[in-house]
């Protein structure tokens, strides 16, 4: 069966939804961020601080290539995973790309209590969120399906994804 890849900006609900979906469908959940941390044996904030974003992105692409060769997975992708064309191509080989979206104010609310996202550890996270959303829009637009999670519960989001999957018999 094709992989289901949840992509989209930080704070749109990818991790929570992917875990719930995996449970519902009795399929394996894979977090790319967790795999990267396992490979490097350090948290993402430390990878960014010590080696920089380019290094992280290269590692992310490597992990995406490996994971995308498998099947039947629910993949929880990091918010920047769509920024490289090769990643999108790898995801699409065996996967259905579902992009979760949310309004900037909702993203701010959902992310503000956490410090594990280096790109949002800035003095004005709201501005940063708006800027990155604008820059990334054309990349996220390459997903196959889109769900705005701003007003939805996890249950409702999972329900929408199950509807989408019916079309694929996946
Ligand atoms: C990033 C998103 C993060 C993580 C890293 C970079 C991004 O994942 O991969 O901090 O560039 O948007 P989440 O979207 O799971 O927070």
Pocket test for ligand 1, best of 14, 30, 60, 80 (most atoms within 8 A of CB): 80
pLDDT of residue 170: 56
Phi, psi angles (nearest 5°) of residue 11: 80, 10
pLDDT in tens, 80-101: 999 999 999 999 999 999 999 9
Task: Tell me which residue of 87, 62, 84 sits closest to 5, measured CA to CA.
Answer: 87
Average pLDDT of the chain, as a whole number: 97
Neighbours of 76 (CB within 10 A): 25
Q: Residue 122 Cα, ligand 1 centroid: separation in angstroms? A: 14
What tens digit of pLDDT does each residue of 140-152 get?
999 999 999 999 9
Q: Domain residues of the chain, as ranges? A: 3-164
Could you identify the atom of ligand 1 that is nearest to the CA of residue 136? Answer: 12
Confidence band (pLDDT; 50, 70, 90) for 9? very high
Distance 9 CA to ligand 1 centre (A): 7
Contact 78, 17 (CB under 8 A): no
CA of 78 to the centre of ligand 1 (A): 4
Would you tell me which CATH number, out of the four given (3.40.50.10540, 3.10.450.50, 3.40.50.300, 3.10.129.10), belongs to the domain 3-164? 3.40.50.300
């Amino acid at each position: 069966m094709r992989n289901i890849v949840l992509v989209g900006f930080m704070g749109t609900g990818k991790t929570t939804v992917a875990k719930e979906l995996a449970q519902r469908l009795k399929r394996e959940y894979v977090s790319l961020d967790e795999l990267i941390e396992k490979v490097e044996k350090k948290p993402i904030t430390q990878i960014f601080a010590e080696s920089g974003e380019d290094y992280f992105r290269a590692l992310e692409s490597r992990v995406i290539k490996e994971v995308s060769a498998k099947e039947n997975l629910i993949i929880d992708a990091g918010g920047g995973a769509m920024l490289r064309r090769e990643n999108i191509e790898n995801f699409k080989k065996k996967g259905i790309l579902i992009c979760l979206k949310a309004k900037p104010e909702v993203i701010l609310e959902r992310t503000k209590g956490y410090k594990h996202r280096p790109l949002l550890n800035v003095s004005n996270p709201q501005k940063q969120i708006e800027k990155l959303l604008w820059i990334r829009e054309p990349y996220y637009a390459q997903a196959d399906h889109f769900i705005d999670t701003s007003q939805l519960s996890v249950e409702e989001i999972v329900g929408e994804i199950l509807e989408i999957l019916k079309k694929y018999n996946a």
